[in-house]
Chains A and B, each alone.
Chain A
């Protein structure tokens, strides 16, 4: 039994030593938090790096919370815990818009400035939303394809149906394409269910059924690798009939693929700027000036309109690719 007690004591010491690391630093400085629904994702690592760097400019400290699996209820609980802990502000990306409403509203009622970034919870009382305007991003992507391929562009779209964000991207894409290449058109859409293997299967079928397709627009982050594999499957990975795959990701393999001429281009959101702007807005809200915010009395001045952090369509040779290929360490 002594061994059992020793094991438990060792466990206590382990837990204690882990907890002792950032001792007291946060008690003397202002402390802000970011909550994500996919802890460890490269995208959110970029966002958190921006959040941290912006905090460092004013001597504030930060922490990252959230589940490693897509569970919005775990995010809601993280927000509740951070409010109980007494952080100065919270930036949360909503894994599900409705699930976060209660926790965001409770945080705002408790006087903790809370905003959403990347994925919004529009029914909540959040300060504002910081992230990509999906319509504008889709428009930029459509315009880039229209300018590069012209009126001959015949586009197949790989998407997950039913999501508002993707619907807005597709609408923007179609209008952006039409604005510079009126003869171009979207000829087919497939449901990749957000799964790589499924994306390969359905995009292969789409290319076989619609041989006129010369562009695949991946309307979200997951299907690009599957879509590229599909072009290989139908023998249109290179050569004169090469299919231009437009990805929606800044993951390193995709960026490397652009440099290697595998992908045509990618829609690069700016998660780092989302983090920077999220922190700056929270800081502003946490520091009231002579006059309170009209919309959130007791808090500082923060705009209520969504803050569009924009996108860039990256092609081979773009210097931004090199910078993005060195993801931040947390």
Chain B
């Protein structure tokens, strides 16, 4: 049996993934060969931990962006999660599990409130979540007086500094969450609906999809993951501070966009987001390794984000053209006179 490789068609998304993997590997190979100290256990661990909290937030952001929305509030929910869990343990005296459970529940509730406001007031998600971002940032400052909270128990610190089989717990959390959420997104009926909503909200609504319910649930998921990231970050740094995670929302959005999701909604995968997060972590690591002026770091990130968005739009346009062509062919066939 022979395989005709010329006939194998690779979808645009997969080409984008392959391109991203190739670029990432090239950067790693280049920096390692020139500067060394890149493919070492110590550096790879630091590289992974450097983006891990943004990557966890990016998982939730993937669902939101596929849905056709955006969640700018994740960074302040992240810092709020840090502060809330710290206050519940240090000032109220709650146990670690109880404080963590309350914190993730409150963060999910904040996300759900975002979703409810978007659905109820029919306001653009960017406006609602920007409002939440600014409000919560103010709350974070006000309830801490600008100071950090520290003095956590060892059992809590384990959530950020502990290891399972030599792998840092936040990385394990991210990997498990990525696999579970990736499977849900790919196969579960409820989560498949978000592609439908992101593609055409009106069509989804007329098809009987409870758009409001799905939206609120997805924004709650985004808040939940930001809360989880916040708890682990407080444990990792041994302190909760209002300034932690500043601009993390942009890195989370960047991971999703570079991973190939269409910013207009309707497409994207967890796998792509994971690749996007790894790419950003590798680029940042390359800057430190090469000692290039870090002022250029944001330039490269921004350019890559623009390229990724452009590529996603090109793929989306191609898909649209294909759909139209198929539709036209069907119409043409139906209009052809039937032979007796």
Residues of A within 8 A of B (CB): 1, 3-5, 7-9, 11-12, 14-16, 18-24, 26-27, 31, 39-40, 61, 63-74, 76-78, 80-86, 95-99, 101-102, 160-163, 330
Q: Is the CB of B291 within 8 A of A15?
A: no
Q: Is the CB of A15 within 8 A of B283?
A: yes
Residue of B149, B243, B292 near A18 (CB, 8 A) is B292
Q: Is the CB of B15 within 8 A of A98?
A: no
A40 CB contacts on chain B under 8 angstroms:
295
Q: Is the CB of A81 within 8 A of B37?
A: no
Q: Is the CB of A86 within 8 A of B37?
A: yes
B314 at the interface (CB under 8 A from A): yes
Q: Which of A64, A97, A98 neighbours the largest number of chain B CB atoms within 10 Å of its CB?
A: A98
Q: Is the CB of A71 within 8 A of B245?
A: yes
B36 at the interface (CB under 8 A from A): yes
Q: Given A77-B50, A81-B50, decide whether A4 and B146 contact each other with a Cβ distance below 8 A.
A: no
B310 at the interface (CB under 8 A from A): yes
B101 at the interface (CB under 8 A from A): no
Minimal Cβ-Cβ distance residue in B for A39: B294
Q: Is the CB of A7 within 8 A of B292?
A: no
Q: Given A7-B310, A31-B291, A68-B298, decide whether A77 and B49 contact each other with a Cβ distance below 8 A.
A: yes
Q: Is the CB of B311 within 8 A of A4?
A: yes
Q: Given A84-B43, A102-B161, decide whether A15 and B300 contact each other with a Cβ distance below 8 A.
A: yes
Residues of B within 8 A of A (CB): 10, 12, 15-16, 19-20, 22-23, 26-27, 30-31, 34-37, 40, 42-43, 45-47, 49-50, 145-150, 161, 233, 236-239, 241, 243-247, 283, 285-296, 298, 300, 303-304, 307, 310-311, 314-315
Q: Is the CB of B30 within 8 A of A16?
A: yes
Q: Is the CB of B30 within 8 A of A72?
A: no
Report B39 CB to chain A, min CB distance, Å. 11
A85 CB contacts on chain B under 8 angstroms:
37, 43, 288-289
A84–B190 CA distance with the chains assembled, in angstroms: 43
Q: Is the CB of A8 within 8 A of B49?
A: no
A21 CB contacts on chain B under 8 angstroms:
290, 292
A80 CB contacts on chain B under 8 angstroms:
46, 49-50
A19 CB contacts on chain B under 8 angstroms:
27, 30-31, 34, 286-287, 290, 292
